[in-house]
Amino acid sequence: MNAIPGGRSLRPLAGILAATAVSLTGTRVSAIALPWFVLVTTGSATLTGLVAFCEMAPYVLVKALTGPLVDRVGPRVVSWVTDSVSAVAVLLIPLTHHLHLLPFWLLLTLVALVGAVRGPGDLAKEIMVPEAADRSRVPLERATGLSGVTERLASTVGPAAGGALVALTGPMAGLVVNAACFALGSVLIALALPRGMGRAAGTEDDRQDVDDPQDGDERAGYWQQLGEGFAFLRREPLLLAIVVMVGITNLLDSAFMTVLVPVWAKETGGGPAAIGLTGSTAGIAAVCGSLIAAAVAHRMPRRLVFFAGFLLAGAPRWLVLASGAPMWVVAAVFALSGFGGGFLNPVLGAVSFERVPRRLLGRVRALGDSFAWAGIPLGGLLAGAAVASAGLTPVLLAGAVAYFCTTNLAGLRPEWKEMDRGRGPRTVRSSTDNPYKPPPKNSSAEMNT
């Protein structure tokens, strides 16, 4: 990406982060309001779970399949269109409920629509981060670190605001706020970003950044483009290792948060207050970790930071719940784990963005993210069955071992050494290698790609 004439401007990165912040905050508010609405109106935990499934299953599936579409149309257009559709679909829920025209099948349909368009919308914002970093002349680790801070803040503030809003005014108000957040995010993407940002892959400026031997890629068929994303991901041992690791840890984290922590809170007598305390403690510490990572991660060895972060963020949480430790010890361990977890996304984002050519970024990120999220719907089901058959403490101990082996012992494999390679200006590899691209001559000197 060419340097900005007239000096540095943070407008591109600030615009992406602001749009991401409002959209994610609205989604987190809805994550409190919508399940509560279903639970109080139907009295059925099964139907509540069905609504959650109807949102997440289309999210993962559509996100996996729309990578070529994002590359073809451009992430900016995809982002503001999908946020606009999400705003309308979410707003229809309280509107039809107020008019007594909301049967359960319509609720499921609207929720599925929101999940389906959220997938490509979130993807589009993600893949504009490296371009925003280039335009703002910010190191990639710093940009992804700030993106991680934004996500952590939304995940901390959104549920708290949603819980208070639902308690004071009811769940429909939370859905109205969610719709407003989607609408604001759409406006920010459409109007606040600099002109020309987030265009489709294959434009003239894009080709200046991407020395691509396949100039006719934008004319290839949809399934051929999707296949190129698969082929590239399959040729990248480090990216494959990341996808597998994150997929397993996401499954374990889903099991931990949706089943094991509530069961622990119930058995120890801590109740919902204990769940809230552990979650907020970890969230605040994660924000602090992400802020530090955004400031200094581009100067630190990635592999060391990455595996040290997972060492703190993973097994200790499981072990402290299994130990029967007092609440202050549990809170301290969750804070330490959250702090370590704050360093993970900046490293993962930087490695992913700099190793994938811009013309393939949408489809490769879409496939990788979808594979990494595929186990999330299964985590709670597996944890519930395991606790019912073996009890809480054995499951927590087994989960701690699984987490440690997945994140730290797996780090001994040779592909992880690639994390710290190629952090200087990238050179063109031979035609038999993956097509890494050199930066343009007038790109930011701070960029680590």
The reported pLDDT for the residue numbered 85 is 94
Structural domain includes residue 183: yes
Which residue reads 């401007």 in tokens?
A: 9
Q: Rounded to an integer, what distance in angstroms lies between the CA atom of residue 173 and that of residue 381?
A: 31
Same-domain check for residues 161 and 51: yes
Which of 186, 190, 192 has the alpha carbon at shortest distance from 88?
Answer: 186
Residue 220, pLDDT score: 62
Q: For residues 276 and 195, state if they share a domain.
A: no
Task: Average the pLDDT over 143-170 and give the result.
Answer: 78
The whole-number pLDDT of residue 36 equals 75
- pLDDT single digits (tens) 278-295: 877 888 888 888 888 777
Residue 421 predicted with pLDDT over 70 = no
pLDDT, greater one: 437 or 60: 60
Question: If you average pLDDT over every residue of the chain, what do you get?
Answer: 78
Note the pLDDT tens digit of each residue in 14-70.
Answer: 888 999 889 888 888 887 788 778 877 887 656 766 777 788 788 888 887 887 788
Instruction: Check residues 350 and 179 and name the one with the higher pLDDT.
Output: 179
Domain assignment of residue 428, yes or no: no
Q: Are 212 and 204 in contact (CB under 8 A)?
A: no
SS3 449: coil
Q: How far apart are alpha carbons 388 and 12 in whole angstroms?
A: 50
Q: Are 407 and 249 in contact (CB under 8 A)?
A: yes
Same domain, 300 and 195: no
Is residue 7 pLDDT above 60, yes or no? Answer: no
Amino acid identity, position 178: N
Confidence of residue 362 (pLDDT cuts 50, 70, 90): confident
Q: Is the pLDDT of residue 5 over 50?
A: no
Does pLDDT of 401 surpass 90?
yes
Which helix (H) or strand (E) segment holds residue 323: the answer is helix 315-323
250 and 173, same structural domain?
Answer: no
Residue 215: the pLDDT is: 43
Tokens of 268: 């120890």
Contact 178, 30 (CB under 8 A): yes
- 441 in any annotated domain: no
Rounded mean pLDDT, 155-182: 83
Q: How many folded domains does the chain comprise?
A: 2
Q: Is the pLDDT of residue 426 over 60?
A: no
Per-residue model confidence (pLDDT) at position 223:
73
Phi, psi of 150 (to 5 degrees): -60, -45
Q: Is there a contact between 382 and 92 (Cβ–Cβ < 8 Å)?
A: no
- Nearest Cα residue to 239 out of 376, 354, 144: 354
Residue 355 domain flag? yes
Contacts of 326 (CB under 8 A, 6+ apart): none
For residue 160, the domain's CATH number is 1.20.1250.20
Q: Do 307 and 249 belong to one domain?
A: yes
In this prediction, residue 212 carries a pLDDT of 44
- Is the pLDDT at 309 greater than 60, yes or no? yes
Which residue, 168, 203, 238, sits at the end of a domain? 203
* Residue 52 is assigned to a structural domain of this protein: yes
Region 283-308: mean pLDDT is 81
Distance (Å, whole) CA 278 – CA 330: 8
Whether residue 149 sits in one domain with residue 55? yes
Neighbours of 102 (CB within 10 A): 17
Q: pLDDT band at residue 3, thresholds of 50, 70 and 90? A: very low
Quick one: pLDDT at residue 219? 55
Per the structure, the complete domain to which residue 97 belongs is given by 1-203
191 and 246 co-located in one domain: no
**Does some domain include residue 219?**
no
- Residue 190 pLDDT grade (very low, low, confident, very high; cuts 50, 70, 90): confident
Do 192 and 308 belong to one domain? Answer: no
Say whether both 272 and 174 belong to one domain.
no
395 belongs to a structural domain: yes
Lookup: tokens for 67: 């990578």
Q: Can you tell me the mean pLDDT for 154-166?
A: 76
Q: Are residues 263 and 133 in the same domain?
A: no
Q: What is the DSSP letter of 104?
A: H
Mean pLDDT of 389-401: 91
CB atoms inside a 10 Å sphere around CB 147: 25
Residues 6 or more apart from 49 whose CB is under 8 A from it?
Answer: none
Mean pLDDT of 247-274: 80
